[in-house]
Structure 1
Amino acid sequence: MRPRSWLSRFRRERGAREWSRVADGAAGLGAADRRSLQPEAHALRQDLNRFLQITRPSVRLSQAALDALPLPAGTDWQWRPGFLSRPLSPSGMVSPENGQVLGDQVTLWHDCAKRALILRQLPNAEVTALARYGMTLEVMGFTGGFLSLAVDLPADAMHGLSPAHVLRLETMLQPERPLPIYARLNITHGPNTEGILREIDMRGAGPQVVEFDLAGIELNENRLEKIWLDLIFEKPQMNAISIREFIVSRHPRANF
């Protein structure tokens, strides 16, 4: 992408002029034309809002702090999801459906028929927090059998990924009451999806770290399609779990 090139500027200016004309004549449009244009307008507004959020100075500073974190030797990629770096709109969801998405990276999965759940983004009030925002999952009378948050990793997490890598998750999870929490790494390559499950050690007050050694799975490096992490909460009823940090990185195994 060359945003400052003449051709790129021309295309953006032409699109802006076209939408300006559409807006000027919106009052005279028929119902069918309005319905057909609204999805385009919503998609355009979403992309523009995302660009403005990502390019805010505070987000760039947050990325600089992430790049400066002490990570294992040889770390060649690190990432913090956008819901910890920039505000979401909407900032939460109440009584969510199974599979409902918040932002563009977080999906809530559950089988609670009463949907007694609230997921919302909140500013990180702790002085020591590096992330600008946190996320809190409130669980009331949970009657289901499973509850998890799925966080999609970006495409660049797969660039150069090989069985020689170890993926590392550093989190700061703060439940109101102790409960078992698991992290599962999922990698889709071709028709297969491989998973590695690890229990998160919730003892102590510091960050929690889990590692996923890819030597334990048969990974087809040439057919990588998707990678994501699940946070799985066991017996979560009448609890609230806050996510204050979520950093994913990768480094080569020590014997490589």
Structure 2
Amino acid sequence: MFDRLRNILAEFRHRQILRFWSGGREDARNMPLSELRNLRRKANQIRRVVDTINHVAVSRLTLPVIGSNAIRKPPRTEWAYRPQAWAGPVYPSGLAAVTSKQKIGDEVTIFHDCTQSELAFRQVRNTHEEDFSPFGLRMDVFNFDGSFLSLAIEMPPESLQGLKRSHLLRLDMIVESERAQEMFARLNIRHGPNTEQIVRELDIGARSFWVEFDLYYTQFNEERGDSMWVDLIFEGPSMNQVTIRDVTMIRRPRASI
């Protein structure tokens, strides 16, 4: 009985709010500018809330299912992770004229040195049957007058727990590109005052691919691991659209020599 009454009251409030904004739409043409500014401010506040709800609703009602966390894992995998931007909705979900150091959620940051940004991004919903990740990240680059463009993807603290030089780190990606796009992946591991870096060229001729980073050939201090991140570096990105459908990182022990 209580739930039914609550639903009736919620429906009544919804109708009142809808009636108010329907009237405001009609009154906006003739009301004084001071009142119109106040109405616009309230409308923008509500729009942000509605946009967020709609974004989450569309995400949850479309496959692949959010929260499944399905990751392709080769044998002997000890740890696997899909960054937030590919696992669930993030804020902001899209932006144009992106400035350098723009955050996408908590883990992804865009870096570039353009004097005039003609770069846009948006989070998109994956719908292919072969996609394991719920979301992808689409970047549209028009005129690009800078010398570098990269996405820095922070790995969580648990990525360093138990990490040793005897481990292999494997980066799996699914990428779609309007035209041929040269890309590199750079693994960064900070330990104390030093940072180990390993660079791999990405072969995005195929939609799905992976690269491995072998820590055996680094000077990584296993006792001082502080943070880990991956830079995805775009070479000559001008006039292109690149959609990164999935990014996962897994860890497994390397074979004994």
What range describes the TM-score normalised by the shorter chain of this pair?
0.7 to 0.9
Counterpart of 2:240 in structure 1 is 239
Percent of residue pairs identical: 40
Residue 223 of structure 1 corresponds to 224
Amino acid paired to 2:226: E
Q: CA deviation at 1:149?
A: 0.4
1:132 alignment partner AA: P
- Deviation readout 1:5-49 (Å, 9 max, x if unpaired): xxxxxxxxxxxxxxxxxxxxxxxxxxxxxxxxxxxxxxxxxxxx9
TM superposition shift of 1:139: 0.4
**Secondary structure of residue in 2 paired with 1:90:** coil
Structure 2: gaps of 5 or more residues: 1-52
Aligned-partner SS, 1:222: coil
TM-score (norm 1): 0.73
Q: Residue 215 of structure 1 aligns to a residue in which SS? A: helix
**Per-residue deviation, 1:89:** 2.5
Q: How far off is 1:92 after superposition? A: 1.5
Which residue of the other structure, out of 147, 162, 165, is the alignment partner of 1:145?
147
Which of structure 1's runs of 4+ aligned residues deviate more than 2 A?
56-60
Measure, in 1, the Cα distance between the counterparts of 2:226 and 2:95.
Answer: 29
> Which has the greater radius of gyration?
2
Aligned to 1:96: 98
Amino acid at match of 2:125: P
Alignment coverage as a number of residue pairs: 198
For the 8 Å contact 1:129–1:244, the answer to whether it is kept is: yes
Deviations along 1:167-223, whole A, 9 cap, x unmatched? 000100111100210000000000011100000112234x11100000121011111
Which residue among 154, 157, 161 is the counterpart of 2:156? Answer: 154
Q: Give the RMSD, CA atoms, in angstroms.
A: 2.0
Aligned to 2:109: 107
Structure 1 spans left out of the alignment, 5+ residues: 1-48
Aligned mates of 2:104, 2:90 — CA distance in 1: 8
Q: 2: distance between equivalents of 1:199 and 1:160?
A: 27
Instruction: Work out whether residues 93 and 102 of structure 1, in 8 Å CA contact, stay in contact via their aligned partners in 2.
Output: no
